Chains A and B, each alone.
Chain A
Amino acid sequence: MTKKRVLMVASFGGHWIQLMRMRSAFAEHDCYYLTTNPEIAPDYPTGRFFTVPDASRWNKLRLLYQLLKMATILLRVRPQVVISTGAAPGYFALRIGKLLGARTIWVDSIANAEELSMAGRIVQPYADLWLTQWEHLARPEGPQHKGSVL
């Protein structure tokens, strides 16, 4: 098995804490980390940790800034796999990752127990593995359910 560059992306907070519970799946690969809070940088390997400004679909200008910074980071890391739990940063990362030839994973946040998140719905065409953490939300055409972070 060859080592791959895996980029783990999520906004800080609930999305991030869920994503980090999946970290061990990639222990044999080279992991890179991207979130919205620079304060946790010391917890991650030097040179492997990146941040983008926080933004949501409610603030278009910040969203654009986030997208640009995200693009420069992905061009630098050249990930072979991109995984995210949400929200806006994850959507951008999967789309850019796809353009750069990466395989992409979306694990919709466990906080979306009755319908998929907005980002989770629109990211579908760009997600090679498209997962929900709730069994009752799985559909034959996707998203699939493979378990949850809890």
Chain B
Amino acid sequence: MIFVTIGAQLPFDRMLKAIDRWAGEHPQVEIYAQIGDTDWTPTHMPWCRLMSPAEFDAKVEAADTVIAHAGMGSIISALMKSKPILIMPRRADLREHRNDHQLATARHLLRRELVTVADDEAQLYDWLDRLHALPAPKTIGDKAQPALLDALRTFVDQA
């Protein structure tokens, strides 16, 4: 199952429309999409607007692949369950977010090989045809880097 999520805050129809079109051409592929609060609705895949944290975790767990906006909630959730993740950053010029921090996040996380990035609908479409080729997810465990935890521990002990 492919789990598609765009987070709880803002719509992201551009990404969802591309996936819905691909879903129409690939009716045999199981997809589930969380689409947020938007006027448009998909025709070729089951969807919901928002989900509870428990439902969200269950969908990520059940998914073979996660496709998401470049939001850290989506990205970290997928990585913690060792799911390959493909992200598409929101763009401020298309009013998909208030600024372009998702483009920056995507670029920097790509450099650390934590995610695969589709810059636009065309690249997203290409990746949908070969999701099996997505790199295996890096293991991130459930904790921050030890150096950060040490710094926090030291600070609190001295507080």
Contacts and interface: CB of A to CB of B under 8 A. Distances in A.
B53 A37 contact: yes
Contact of B144 (A14, A29, A147): A147
A102 B45 CA distance: 50
Contact of A14 (B71, B107, B109): B71
A148 B144 contact: yes
B130 interface: no
Interface string A4-25: 1010000011111110011011
A39 B52 contact: yes
Contacts of A1: 157
B113 to A, nearest CB: 11
B155 to A, nearest CB: 5
Chain B contact surface mostly: helix
Nearest to A13: B73
A114 B153 contact: no
Interface in B10-57: 52-54
Interface of A: 1, 4, 6, 12-18, 21-22, 24-26, 29, 37, 39-40, 80-81, 83, 103, 105, 107, 109-114, 128-129, 131, 133-134, 146-150
Interface of B: 7-9, 52-54, 71-77, 79, 101-102, 104-105, 107-109, 112, 114, 140, 142-153, 155-157, 159
10 contacts: A12-B8, A13-B72, A21-B144, A128-B159, A133-B148, A147-B144, A147-B145, A147-B149, A150-B112, A150-B114
